[in-house]
Each structure stands twice: as C-alpha cells, then as structure tokens.
Amino acid sequence: MPENKELQQLISEIKLFMKYAVSDAQMGAAEAVLHKYRNNSRILNLLREYYLALPDAREEPVLRIAKLVQHQGVSLLVVTTSSVSYVYVSSAQQIVLLGEYRAELEPEVLEYFGFDSHEDFLKICLPVGDLEECVPGSEPTICPACGVSEGEYHLLGCSIEICPWCEGQLSKCNCRFEQLEVDAIDEEEQLEEFVDLLTAKGRIPFEQEQVPFYPGTSRGLDGDDTAGELEQ
C-alpha cells in the first residue's frame, strides 16, 4: 500500500466499487491495473470514476489506460476494457467521461487540444494497443499554482510565472505598467496588449526550479489566489 493517506483512501473506495462492478473471474485483471497505478493519484481518480459510474452499465474491468493528448496539465486518456474503449478528460482537479473512443467530441474540447475538426482529431486516434500507456508513477511535475506541465507556459496570472523583463514574479512586478506606459490596467484591451508584448518578448515556460518552496505550499505563503479557479 502507498504511504500517502489520500491514495490509500482512494484505493479502498475503488476496491469497494470494483466488488459490484467486476466478476470474480475478472477481479485479478482489475486488481492488477489498480496495483500498477497505486501511486498515481490521477489514474486512481480515473479508476474511481470509472467503477463508480460504469459507463453504459457494462460490468467490465479496466485493462489498459493510455494517454492520447495533453495540453496545459489537462489530458485525454483512453480507457480500455475487454470490449470497448472510452475517452476521459483528466486534470489535477477533475475527471470526466467524454464518450467512446473515436466518437465525436464537443467543439470546445477539440479546440482546446488544438484540433480543427473531428477528422483532424481522428488522425491521432491510433489503434488502442499503439497508444502510449500511462506510466505507473505519478505524473510529471506540474506547476503547483496553475497546473501546467514542465515546459509549458503558465496560465496567465499564475503566481509562479517569471517575468522575462525583470526576472521577478510576473504577477507582482511592475513591468506590465512600464511596458504599457500606464499607471493602472483596468481594461481588457490593455491586458491583451500586454499579453502580445509578453509573447513577443518570450514567455518563460514552467520549470521545476521555479517553484520556490515544496509544491503544494505556495498558496498559503504568498497569499496569492491568481490562479484560483484552477486550484484544488
């Protein structure tokens, strides 16, 4: 069992739901997947959601979980059972079933992940066995404030993002006023103009080294709630 209490709690819930959802004959296969991901909270949340809701009321264990695409800390995951595959959207905060694998996705979802159309999306929908299986360990480091992965740009307003002009904290420094040559920013257009300037200058993507303290403790220390809607 993992040491983390939260993970232990998740695992016991999943086991309980599995009792109702999985036949004795298939329990071994279901438990093997659960055991494999015992330290990965995102995948455990996915399994919990799956066994709790059982899409289409099919009583089948999850046999494989693969990553389809990722953008700013949000992933589309493909969950395969003995007869069908489903697509879930997974973030640090949420797990939602979108539908069967290769089914048409909502336009907002396609757009978020950068697909022009359903046909465009289908190009990455390889046979399930060819998709990259999710790694058992925890997810790669993500920004504790806004949730993006290493190498990605922070969400605007994130308290961890470093200012490319002064190398201070972008959400706190005065560069935005200096760059726009104003004393205050109170219009949407000013913010957009600043984002253009920032992009032209070159935003600094998230790196683990930017986190000034152990991940998960930043909120209390800087008292900043700039990425509020994304925090747990």
Q: What is the rounded CA–CA span in Å between residue 198 and residue 147?
A: 20
Q: Does 143 bind Zn ion (CB under 5 A)?
A: yes
Residue 166 binding Zn ion, by CB under 5 A: yes
Binder among 145, 162, 198, 230 for Zn ion (CB under 5 A): 145
Cβ–Cβ < 8 Å for 49, 148 = no
17 scored as a contact of Zn ion (CB under 5 A): no
Residue 230 sits in the site that holds Zn ion (CB under 5 A):
no
175 binds Zn ion (CB under 5 A): yes
- Spatial separation of the C-alpha atoms in residues 144 and 209, rounded to whole Å: 12
Residue 142 interacting with Zn ion (CB under 5 A) = no
List Cβ neighbours of 198 (8 Å cut-off, separation of 6 or more).
Answer: 164, 170, 179
Question: Least distance from C-beta 203 to Zn ion, angstroms?
Answer: 11
Task: Output the smallest distance, CB 157 to Zn ion, in A.
Answer: 9
Look-up: residue for tokens 């683990």? Answer: 208
Among 89, 154, 218, 226, binds Zn ion (CB under 5 A): 154
- 148 class by beta-carbon count within 10 Å (0-12 exposed, 13-18 middle, 19+ buried): buried
The SS3 call for residue 96 is strand
- In the complex, minimum distance from the CB of residue 208 to Zn ion, in angstroms, rounded to a whole number: 12
Decide if residue 160 touches Zn ion (CB under 5 A): yes
173 interacts with Zn ion by CB under 5 A: yes
Least spacing, CB of residue 164 vs Zn ion, in Å? 8
Cα(173)–Cα(217) distance, integer angstroms:
21
Contact footprint for Zn ion (CB under 5 A): 143, 145-146, 154, 158, 160, 163, 165-166, 168, 173, 175
